[in-house]
Amino acid sequence: MANFEDIESAREFFYKDKYAVMTGVTLDELTEDEAICSLEITDDHKNAYGGVMGGVMFTLADFTFAVLSNQIHQLTVAQQVDIHYLSAPKGEKLIAKATCRKNGRTSSIINVDISDDTGRDVAQFIGTGFKL
């Protein structure tokens, strides 16, 4: 059962996450078992070498994880997360897609795959959510 009536109520709730919103993360799609968020890449997201900072990708993945895990069970907090950076983004936008791999009594496992708008896989995030 979904915790948010519609995507607008989820946006209203999660847009209180000021850091992610300031970074430029948007909630694009939400169902009972999937969340999609994105971020338009700007110069503010780049490191001294001109690449997208890992923390930007982590923030996008963490936000997407939070949206889906709290759609499944409110209140859920991150217990452990792991991120693997696969490739440098080449496009102008990052897209994160969260799916639930396990929905247990006290925890959930959420996979978040991040790609850019060229279809390039750039990161994989796996989060364990603890259900409060």
pTM: 0.96
The superfamily in CATH containing domain 7-131 is: Hotdog Thioesterase (3.10.129.10)
Within 10 A of 40 (CB to CB), how many other CB atoms are there? 12
All structural domains of the chain with their residue ranges: 7-131
Per-residue pLDDT of the chain (132 residues; tens, 9 = 90+): 689 999 999 999 999 999 999 999 999 999 999 999 999 999 999 999 999 999 999 999 999 999 999 999 999 999 999 999 999 999 999 999 999 999 999 999 999 999 999 999 999 999 999 999
Q: How far apart are CA 61 and CA 44, in angstroms?
A: 18
Within 10 A of 89 (CB to CB), how many other CB atoms are there? 23
